[in-house]
Structure 1
Amino acid sequence: MYDVTVERVFPMINPTTAERLSLVAVGGYGRDELAPQSDIDLLFLLPYKQTPWGEQVVEYLLYLLWDLSLKVGYATRSVDSCIRYAREDMTIRTGLVESRYLWGDEDLYKELRQRFRDDIVANTGPEFVDEKLEERDLRHHRLGDSRYLVEPNLKEGKGGLRDLHTLYWIAKYLYPIDDIKELVELDVLTAAELRTFQRAEEFLWRVRCHVHYVAGRPEERLTFDIQTELAERMGYRDKAKTRGIESFMKQYYLVAKSVGSLTRIFCAFIEEKHKRTPRFRLPLIGLRRREVDGFMLEGSRLNVIDEKDFANDPIKMIRIFHLAQEKNYDIHPQALQLMVRARG
């Protein structure tokens, strides 16, 4: 489509450096994730400001896509304007994190990626993490702040797809990765945690696709009127003591819970490795390492003495919280990781 447009419909006999264009996928399209009713988000990337040729090409391509009955969200920007907007707008910055080259001038896209890494990403990791986690908390609060709502929002709700996206955005911002699998090689996640991420993502995406087909529109809530049909479509049948819809919703809640566990593990890791300010910070009371009631106090943070402590003695999971509350300590990120992993 692009080649026909630039080579036959609007050919340039002697193009200048300004007559270049790169098609870039952003949003869900950039992540290679599209549900049946999703929009296609595109960035028409220019080297400089718009030219008459570029305007004609963009308009022609958009009309072709609209004639195909596709819902298209788009922006037309130069490399400089992308960098400028990314500094000011966290949504645009996030869009560039997950952008993906489609077609056209690939060197132009590579220039954008390099400038984005050098001018925006460098030295702004903690800022991006704090912004995305605050955005997540506000979203949770707006939608009920519970994984166990009777009509949960599987995209924006607590434990939903957007929480997995947040982990992906943060990981991609902090590390030069193209696939979530690479976090295992970086020791951010274990192989078991990666499988949990993949299973949760696969389940939530199957549910979301079925919801779109049943509703016939971009619906994200598991409303009462479609839960029974969703359960049937996904193979959950009534049994002697359990209805199919109950088994389906139980599985949804278990997946949402596993997403929450992954979030705690990941946030604990980045807090320790990238020295972020703790999400729930208590006053500092010292910097020495010393043993306190069977735990190691490191500064103001309680940690385990041995990495197998929680696995060998699960009661310590309760004791560490009791001691933290009693003495006004923080809990060390490593202890949080080990706690979640010990629970399986």
Structure 2
Amino acid sequence: MKGKEINNLSSLKRILSPRFLTQISGRKFAHLFSFATDCYFKDKYNDLNLNTKGISLVALGGYGRAELCVHSDIDILLLIHDNNLLELEKIAHNLFVPLWDMGFEVGHSVWTISNCLALAKENFEVLASLLDARFIVGDKNLFKDFQLSLAKVLNPELKKRFIHWLQENRIKRGDRFGSASSQIEPHLKESLGGLRDYHYLKWVAKVWFSLSQIEDLVREGLISHPEYEELQESVDFIFLVRNQLHFLSKRRNDILHFEIQPTIAQQIGFEDKNGKFAVENFLSILHKKMSVLEVLCNLFYKTHFTEINNFNYLLQEEEIDVSLGICLRNGTLDFEDTKYILSNNLILLEIFKYSAMYNIPISWESRRIINELVSLLRDSLYKNEESSKIWEDILVSDNVYFALKQMLDTEFLAKFFPDFGVVSDFVQFDAYHIYPTGAHSVKTVDFIVKVKEDNLWSELIGEYSNDISLRWAALFHDIGKIGPNHSLIGAQLAKKILTKLNLENNIIDIVCFLIENHLLLVKTATRQDLEDESVIVNLASKIESSKKLGLLTLLSYADAKATGPKAWNPWVESLLREVFFKVKKVLEQGVLAEPHLVHRLASTRDKLRELGKKRFSLDFLESTLDSLPARYLLHHLPQEIYKHIELIFEKKDKQKRIVFQAKPDKKTNLWEIIIVGDDFRGVFMKIVGVLTMSGLNIFSADLNSLKNGLFIDIFRVSNPPDPLFVDEFWEKVESRLDFVFSNKLDVDKEMSSMHEFFTKNDIEIKVSVDNNKSDFYTVIEVIADDKPGFLYKIAKTLLNLDLDVLFARVATYKDKVVDVFYVLDKEKEKIVDPLKIEEIEFCLKSSF
């Protein structure tokens, strides 16, 4: 029978709702939940009518800290005087079984004081849990004896070992869970910047500084009052998010999964605002709060425990040459006198220069001063002609990331460049931007420096790494991020800032060019046919010089790498390399560097005759060559075409319905699929259906209809799901294709049964029909949220519109697709009729 105390807890659980959780602060709920649990244990324990001497109920861990979230474990210690208490089994049964029946997760231990002390010495996880111990009910004197005994055990040597363990444990957490500021799906507890960092500060305060409460750190001058207030606000917000996450997950869950983020943003009360979605506003605040906690924890440790960790600073004060007013103190750079900054404000910038030069961090106190003074001194620094030179020294340093990261953490960048501050914490809600804009921009500069470590790209474009225009462009390339046309807006903002800093006009012009076009190369490479000469010629005319191409390519490389692994992968890398080489060739050799098209076609056919004369009959070879379309001959190397002719011969010789070949492409980390078969209306749609049914992502499709009634279609797709059974997998794919082509398998029916197709209200689609991107084809671009079977639905719609797809480039991310199709109408002409274009746009949007 459930008592009143269980009803109290269950009542609390019943009233839980997103609205209730937002009506009180994150930690207030945690305290309320912990207090209700205390009441349950007190009432239940008192109902047992026991002699309280010799036994105490003690809360541990999160419960001990009064931080219970919706689905937190309840950790309880039965602290006993000795192991002979006969009532223990009865007590445990009456206390814990009702909670288990109610669905609470309860962890309990039965230890004596000597057990606790022995375990604490051997296992620092136990020690950390015991540091959070809180008396609930029972023998209060026994609990006081435990506290005194634990304090005596904490001798200087054990304290030092514990601090070491905390830092080592934090490093391991960073390796495993990463920094919250660089996670699409942060772990609210264990990521750096998560609640565990807050616990770390509390444990350090207790063990090293003998402080009972974390707020005592302010009284002792270990952190400032504003830092403490910011810390509390950050922790409270993380608790609020964690409680919402537990409630929505209906279980203990601390990973903020991508799919649940919009719901939590809405439940907390965020709205679409200032050109940003509610979820982006939410993530911007969350990343900021978690970053505050991470940075504070980093600084606290580096400031107060350099001696314990035996940090080996190789440079002594007399060995470094710094400006007057800056000194080396306790292994960090420090301002000698705050008053001196007001009369020589350049040292506010110079301290970052010397930090990069000597790889020495700026002291915590100096960071505080920088944060407080930068807004006050900003205008005078802009007017000082030496400022731009100091900025250049910082940006061209090989250790620039070290300086810029400190500028970011102290909010120097946000306050010195207010336009940068507007976007600094902006988090773009998609599956491949892993950093807020500020951190991403700083990482982009870092990857420009690190290109020297990349042998391939260093050889191609490494010579441009130290260009000051490129460094400025990297820092500001996303400064216009919020709102449409961010590249153009960013260029305009950068021009305003750099003009104010008195940079030379030629540098500003290049910076603006790079920012305005920083997406140009990757967009072209991933969305257009690079075999179309007009695409390359148009790029070359826009870029104008080999130097600007090198700078733009390096910015594209660094931007993609800083965005995350989904934006930079072997496929994107190979396409960027291809577009770089092709544009470079046009810039250096001219548009007419290639032989005339007629001569190229004749040359390719002659090479194929030479390759095939011993393998094929003259009649077969000539008839096959006559059937190959000009576009196909121009877009493929003779050696590739020869391999395809072998597949055509195999189909004819063995009278196969289709010939299928799959081979890995090590350069792109994808697989190339070649399919040869009898051409018919709807080939592309059916192949896409089979590949989708097989769990493959399609990255590109090169579709070729031959004059002899055959087709040669070449796809690049993702890797098979199981690397141990690759051959079996491709055999199954080939079998499915054969069944579909023989009408034994209805691909449309199979796709419908595999995926519950969505209505148009489920997905937002942008469609553009463009006749200017290619001289020979109409280019259709479709951008939308990714859904199962999306490409198949597009292919089916294009088929119903009587459009012939010649080439497709598909970029599939976790949440977005950008599909580009080069098409002709049934007369093999571009689509120029405005009514037909309007019909295409309408049908594509209406098909979902």
Give the structure-1-normalised TM-score: 0.86
How much has 1:303 moved relative to structure 2?
A: 3.6
CA distance in 2, matches of 1:240, 1:7: 56
Does residue 258 of structure 1 match 2:292?
A: yes
Residue by residue over 1:194-241, the C-alpha shift from the partner in whole angstroms, topping out at 9 and shown as x without a partner, is 001101101100000011111111111111211111111111111351
Decide whether aligned partners of structure 1 residues 37 and 238 sit closer, same or farther in structure 2, where only a CA change above 3 A counts: same
Counting only pairs closer than 5 Å after superposition, residues 305-320 of structure 1 correspond to structure 2 as: 305-307=336-338, 312=345, 313-320=347-354
Match of 1:183 in 2: 217
How much has 1:45 moved relative to structure 2?
A: 0.3
Match of 1:293 in 2: 322
Residue by residue over 1:70-107, the C-alpha shift from the partner in whole angstroms, topping out at 9 and shown as x without a partner, is 21111100000100000000100001111111110011
CA distance in 2, matches of 1:100, 1:201: 21
CA distance in 2, matches of 1:191, 1:300: 25
Does residue 276 of structure 1 match 2:308?
A: yes
CA distance in 2, matches of 1:308, 1:267: 28
Decide whether aligned partners of structure 1 residues 300 and 32 sit closer, same or farther in structure 2, where only a CA change above 3 A counts: closer
Counting only pairs closer than 5 Å after superposition, residues 228-239 of structure 1 correspond to structure 2 as: 228-239=262-273
Select 1:93's aligned residue among 123, 127, 130.
127
8 Å CA contact retained: 1:27, 1:41: yes
8 Å CA contact retained: 2:194, 2:294: no
Match of 2:831 in 1: none
Match of 1:249 in 2: 283
Decide whether aligned partners of structure 1 residues 240 and 114 sit closer, same or farther in structure 2, where only a CA change above 3 A counts: closer
CA distance in 2, matches of 1:4, 1:315: 62
CA distance in 2, matches of 1:245, 1:8: 48
Select 1:126's aligned residue among 136, 141, 160.
160
Percent of aligned pairs sharing the same letter: 25
SS in 1 for 2:58: strand
RMSD of aligned residue pairs (Cα, Å)? 2.7
CA distance in 1, matches of 2:166, 2:123: 12
Does residue 267 of structure 1 match 2:301?
A: yes
CA distance in 2, matches of 1:34, 1:115: 27
CA distance in 2, matches of 1:68, 1:293: 65
**Residue segments in structure 2 that go unaligned for 5+ positions in a row:** 1-39, 372-409, 411-848
Match of 2:70 in 1: 36
SS in 2 for 1:184: helix
8 Å CA contact retained: 1:290, 1:297: no
Decide whether aligned partners of structure 1 residues 44 and 248 sit closer, same or farther in structure 2, where only a CA change above 3 A counts: same
Counting only pairs closer than 5 Å after superposition, residues 192-231 of structure 1 correspond to structure 2 as: 192-231=226-265
Residue 322 of structure 2 aligns to which amino acid in structure 1? D
How much has 1:44 moved relative to structure 2?
A: 0.5
CA distance in 1, matches of 2:125, 2:340: 42
Decide whether aligned partners of structure 1 residues 303 and 8 sit closer, same or farther in structure 2, where only a CA change above 3 A counts: closer
How much has 1:122 moved relative to structure 2?
A: 4.5
CA distance in 1, matches of 2:153, 2:118: 10
How much has 1:25 moved relative to structure 2?
A: 0.5
- Give the total of aligned pairs: 328
Decide whether aligned partners of structure 1 residues 7 and 136 sit closer, same or farther in structure 2, where only a CA change above 3 A counts: closer
SS in 2 for 1:44: strand
CA distance in 1, matches of 2:243, 2:304: 32
Which of the pair has more CA radius of gyration?
2
Give the structure-2-normalised TM-score: 0.36
CA distance in 2, matches of 1:112, 1:235: 45
Residue 88 of structure 1 aligns to which amino acid in structure 2? E
Counting only pairs closer than 5 Å after superposition, residues 66-215 of structure 1 correspond to structure 2 as: 66-145=100-179, 147-215=181-249
Residue 198 of structure 2 aligns to which amino acid in structure 1? L
Residue 177 of structure 2 aligns to which amino acid in structure 1? L
SS in 2 for 1:269: helix
CA distance in 1, matches of 2:191, 2:99: 31
Q: Report which stretch shifted further, 140-149 or 161-170.
A: 140-149
CA distance in 2, matches of 1:8, 1:267: 47
CA distance in 1, matches of 2:335, 2:147: 42
CA distance in 1, matches of 2:251, 2:85: 37
8 Å CA contact retained: 1:86, 1:120: no
Decide whether aligned partners of structure 1 residues 340 and 265 sit closer, same or farther in structure 2, where only a CA change above 3 A counts: farther
8 Å CA contact retained: 1:121, 1:173: no
Residue by residue over 1:255-298, the C-alpha shift from the partner in whole angstroms, topping out at 9 and shown as x without a partner, is 121112211331133226xx3225x5334x65x77884223245
How much has 1:23 moved relative to structure 2?
A: 0.5
Residue 242 of structure 1 aligns to which amino acid in structure 2? K
**Residue segments in structure 1 that go unaligned for 5+ positions in a row:** none
CA distance in 2, matches of 1:120, 1:229: 46
Select 2:366's aligned residue among 309, 329, 338.
338
8 Å CA contact retained: 2:201, 2:214: no
